[in-house]
Amino acid sequence: MYDILVYATNPESVTEIKELFPAPVHQVCVVDENDDWPVDVPETLFDFALAWEAPVQEVSKFLEKQQAVGLGFVPVVALTRDSSEADQLFALPLADVITLPTPRALFMRTIETLVHGRKRSEEDRRGMNWQGSLSEFNLIDLIQMVDAGRRSVEARLSQEGLNGRLVFGEGVLCDAQFRALSGSAALKKMVFWSRGSFQIRELGDEAVTNEIKLQNQEILLQLFEVLAKQDQLSRDLPDFTTQLLRNPLMEPGELTGLQSKILGQCQQAITIFELLQVLDDDGEDILLELKIMLEMNLIGDRVEVEAAIREAAETSNFSKVISSISSIFKRKPRESVVEYQFYESLPEESLLPLQFPARELSEDDRRLIEGKLLGGSQ
Amino acid sequence: MRIMETIVISQDGQYQQELMSELPTLRQRVYGVDVDRLEISEDLIVHLYHFSLEGGIAGEILDHLQGHLSAMVMIADLEQIRNQENNDLDEIRKTVNNVPAILAIRSEKDVLPYNRDAKASGLLLADNARMFFWDPEDKRSKGIVWNAALNTLQFETVNNLL
């Protein structure tokens, strides 16, 4: 399978290229305008590029653009029908120039030699000392690759300030370190790293002690299980890049030890990924507790929590009034008994006799009152 | 004939007019106090005695009434509640703390953050006291205040005593 970057301005050429390298086996990315490349082009690791029947000047621009976006390491093959243009193309830093028409088999052999010969030469140059991106080779890939090489190496992994170390003895993973964690616990944290870089260094004659004491296949099975479990748990959780924040409007009550640690970390906004890395506890346990705490609203999406805090602040004065008023209405014992004073005479305007009110309301009374007050006031 | 006596307290009497605008009452004056007479039925009458905090409330009258009161309605807006001086409400409530009480807060529509349930049943202040919000433009909100004062809390209190 090849990832191919194609510069072609003729739609018929594009059709032919896609027939030569059909999807989904091969991934073909076509640019037809040097001034406007798709945004995801620089993020793709292409095996090679084709400049298909493009004028020399445009091929030159293509090469410049390729360098500018960081893809200068991708070999470019230019194809042309014009033999005089072929001579000019050879002056450019191209991997090869092919004059059309050419037999398909010869063309494919050229490509194959170009791609595989490049990889072999890279390995010969550096042996097992090499570095790369975790986005291309993650922990599982590295274990398998070192296992295949049967070498004793040290691998240093890093991602956004996180640093881990692996030690292989003759291809067998013997030790792993991440902060204070070692062995399987460290591996279970590093297996989720996908954005950083790694460096591999041969250890030569350095002695390697096997601390993990498991075959690589057993380790890989454990890691696959960890990945599968997290994938399952993550379905009920926000995206791992979502920032979480403690909700100060909720009283936590009794918390487990891990919940307390999570709540402590969430005092400042923190992503789920960061939480999984900063806590030494098992990732599965962390995710399970996270799910509970999200349901209890003890923590939440930072944006939503901040909005709730703002809303509460706007109503805080109201709440204070409620509290003070409520205290007024709580039953309090009479501090003193006031003597009843009789009025010796009633003022002239007194027209309504006072009677002791009946404190018993029947259902009929209730309906009458309700009807009078609500029925007529709607 | 049964009479339910209710005292209605406000800062200066202004909000009383608005809150009672839909009540078919007949105003009288008793013991120097404005009293509105609301006839529920031939057998059941409500007297609403009006007092204003600004004018002061004679302790003797309050003490005279408190033994007969069925309910107490205090009308204000939030600003008045916050700014009340001399803890007037506190003193009044000490005197009549056994009477079902309503604190009726005048508010513009949808200004305060209360939901439909709070609108209909009020916010609990104590076991025999609730706070309601009423909008001078909303007849039903005003009716809910009076119904709670005369009916809901009175009935609940009575049922608790029986």
Q: For residue B112, give the nearest of A318, A359, A378 by CB distance.
A: A318
pLDDT band at A100 (very low <50, low <70, confident <90, very high): confident
Domain total of chain A:
3
Has residue A341 been placed in a domain? no
Averaged over A336-365, what is the pLDDT? 49
- Give the full edge-to-edge strand order of the sheet including A48-52: A27-31, A3-7, A48-52, A76-80, A96-99
Residue B44 and residue A373: Cβ atoms within 8 Å? no
Q: Is residue A142 part of a domain?
A: yes
Per-residue burial over A346-376, b if 16 or more Cβ lie within 10 Å, else e, is eeeebeeebeebbbebeeebbebbbebbbee
DSSP A374: I
DSSP at A43 = G
Are A368 and B40 in contact (CB < 8 Å)? yes
* Beta strand A130-133 pairing with A197-202: antiparallel
* Contact criterion met (CB < 8 Å) for B89 and A328: yes
Residues A115 and A23 in one domain: yes
pLDDT digits (tens, 9 = 90+) for A164-189: 999 999 889 999 999 999 999 999 99
Q: Bigger pLDDT: A137 or A120?
A: A137
Q: Do B158 and A374 touch (CB under 8 A)?
A: no
Task: Assess whether pLDDT exceeds 70 at residue A91.
Answer: yes
With H, G, I as helix, E, B as strand and everything else as coil, classify residue A215: coil
Contact criterion met (CB < 8 Å) for A370 and B151: yes
pLDDT in tens, A264-281: 999 888 999 999 999 999
> In the predicted model, what is the mean pLDDT of residues A339-344?
43
Residue A377 has its nearest CB partner, among B4, B22, B60, at B22
How many of the other CB atoms lie within 10 Å of CB of A36?
Answer: 9
- Looking at the structure of chain B, the number of domains it has is 1
pLDDT of chain B along its 162 residues, tens only? Answer: 788 888 898 887 788 888 988 888 888 877 677 889 988 888 888 889 888 877 777 677 777 777 778 888 999 887 777 766 546 667 777 777 778 888 898 887 655 555 556 667 777 777 778 888 888 888 888 888 898 888 777 766 655 543
Same domain, A264 and A202: no
> ω into residue A38 within 30 of 0, thus cis?
no
Question: Kind of pairing, strands B33-39 and B69-77?
Answer: unpaired
pLDDT at A185: 93
Same-domain status, A13 and A109: yes
Q: Give the range of the structural domain holding residue B156, as residue numbers without chain letter.
A: 2-161
What residues in B contact A328, CB-CB < 8 Å?
Answer: 89-90, 93, 125
Domain with A51 in it: 3-125
Which residues in chain A are closer than 8 Å to B38, comparing Cβ atoms?
A: 372
Instruction: Please list the alpha-helical segments (H only) found in B9-103.
Output: 14-19, 59-66, 78-83, 88-95
A124-165, pLDDT tens digit by residue? 434 556 778 888 788 988 898 888 778 889 999 998 888 999
A63 belongs to a structural domain: yes
- What CATH number should be reported for the domain holding residue B69? 3.40.50.300
ipTM of the complex, rounded to two decimals: 0.79
Which range has the worst mean pLDDT, A8-17, A215-224, B21-30, B58-67?
A: B58-67
CA–CA separation, A330 and B126 (whole Å): 5
Residue A158 β-bridge partners? A163, A197
Q: Which of A10-24, A233-247, A335-349 has the lowest mean pLDDT?
A: A335-349
Q: Is B23 on the interface with A (CB under 8 A)?
A: yes
Residue A320: per-residue pLDDT? 60
